[in-house]
Each structure stands twice: as C-alpha cells, then as structure tokens.
Structure 1
C-alpha cells in the first residue's frame, strides 16, 4: 500500500471533526476549507517524513491550531517590547472580570492546574490533546482536573471585602504565575485563541 493511501485511511474517520474544528478557528467557510487543506498537507508531509501517525485527530488539531496561530501572527505582526505591552491598558469591558477570575484561580491552583482547566473547560481540548500538549498521561490529566475542580468548588468565589482580606492571608499556597502568564491567559480567553 502506498503512503498516501495509508495516510488517507488513517485520517478519514477524523475529517468531520477536524473540518468542524477548522470552522471554529476561522471566520469563514472558505478560510476553514483552506485551513483544512493546509492541515492535511502538513500532516501528510509529517507522515511521509516520519512514518508515524499514532493519534491522527490530535495531530490534525495541533497542526490546524498552529497554522491558524501563525496566520494570526502574520496579520498582526506589530512588535512591542514585553514590558511595554504589559503596561498598555486593555479597553475591553470584560478584561477586568476575566483577569480577576484568572487571578483568583491562580491563587488556589498551580500554573499547570490552571492551564489544564482552561484547556479542558474553555478551549474544549480532549484529555488526549491536553496530555499531548503538556507531555503527560491521560490519567494524570483526569486526576489534575478532578482535583482542581474540587479545590475551586470548596473555596467558592469570594463575594465581599472581608472574604477577600481573609483570602489574602491564606491564598497563594501554590505560588502565583508571573504577570506575563496571567496576561497570556487573559488574552487567550478574550480572543478565543490558546
């Protein structure tokens, strides 16, 4: 059997899901189709070069996501030093609430736990996709997500100044992420791009 036929058989069951995912990532049906075609070409090149295609759907999702991120960067290629970018105000009215929730989460969860929770609950990654991206096992992902959700449920969202003051004394047991990480998470949530 020739390489293209083997590749086609491996990805065929996943095309519907990948096409839907490409539609989610792009703003039009035409861009989604272009992204799908480019994704398939890159995946085939990878398969031809390595001979490996163990998790086709995860690989196709990752390639599509990276291609879309690259395209977005090319369209918005203004370079600003990091220190200056962190000082620039955001004018979106949701920025404060999104940033506040992320800061609250980071007080109770580690960076890795927060990252996994965002990938699973906001960006709809599968357990396998999270494991692939973060270089861990699926059971580890399930355990971390279960533990993280339970930890946040137990703490609840603080409602008043008294609980915020109390939280200030006992929070940050996990260590706060740096401002760049919080800003990256906030931007990802607001733009829908990981």
Structure 2
C-alpha cells in the first residue's frame, strides 16, 4: 500500500510520470468495458492504489540501491552531496514566505481538516477525496462542473483562512506554525503526519 509521506515528495519527480502514464491507458481500457460509472470509478481507485504501492516499492528499492552505490563507489561529488546534507538546514530568515498563497497549500488542507473534524480528520479527508473522485466519473457535465466548482471554492476558502493565519503570525512575530507549512517561498519543514 502507498504511503502519504512518500507521495508528498514523489509527486514532483519523474516517479509521478511512471505512476500516471499506465493509469491513463487503464482508464481508457476500463471505459471500453461498458461498466456503470461507479464501477469504473471504484475499479480505477483500486488499481490506482495498488499501482501506487507497487511504484513506491520499486522506487524505494531503486533509490536505496542508488544511494548505496553512491556511498560505496560513487564519485567525490556524490559523496560530498550526501555528507553535506546537514548544511542544507534553512535559517530562520528563509522560513518567512515571500508571498501569501491564493489557494490553500497541501499542508494547510491537512491542518484545516484537523481543526474542523478533530479525531475524525482522516476519515473526513478520505471521504471528501472519495466523493470528489467518484463525482468525476459520473457521466454528467453538470456534476463535473459542480464538483470542480466545489474544489475551487473550498481551496479558495481554505486559502483565505491560511492567509489570515499567516498575517496574524507574521504580525505577532511568532514561530511559524501549521499555517506556514508548504507556503510559497517558505522552506519550512515538511508536514507532520500521524500514523
């Protein structure tokens, strides 16, 4: 099964291409079977989950072998890059964002669901993702437009909430909190995940 920590980092690497390209072909194939829309959505969701777990497993093995090879027989530059990772810790001046986000960042979505739903945040977030995902498989343009509008309104609303918290923290001069996670221009620590 895939882990959220891995895919938060791998989403912006070539690993995402390895993940999405076969899924596009599977989506086209599953539509030719003539199943009802919700069967298509569930089948695609199951395959996407299994495929992302397999891609993660293969990627982790590849990256571990690559790191081991760099440490044992790598060039001086690769070894220096690995050994100088402690020097990559940002200073506190780099943690201040340059611009306020228009839409909510990924870290703030998790923060907002935790504030809104408390202990049920994981269930609420997965249910929200499931409803949005399945709505895009429904064969009606009106449902697609409504779902997309819901996503935009939710993200803009959470973005306004995040900007308000950012301004409050910047005016008070306090330590960056969850509202600053993954803000554009900030180099804050990655979001904290609960098991």
Fold match (TM-score > 0.5): no
Please give the TM-score of this superposition, normalised by the length of structure 2: 0.30
Please give the TM-score of this superposition, normalised by the length of structure 1: 0.30
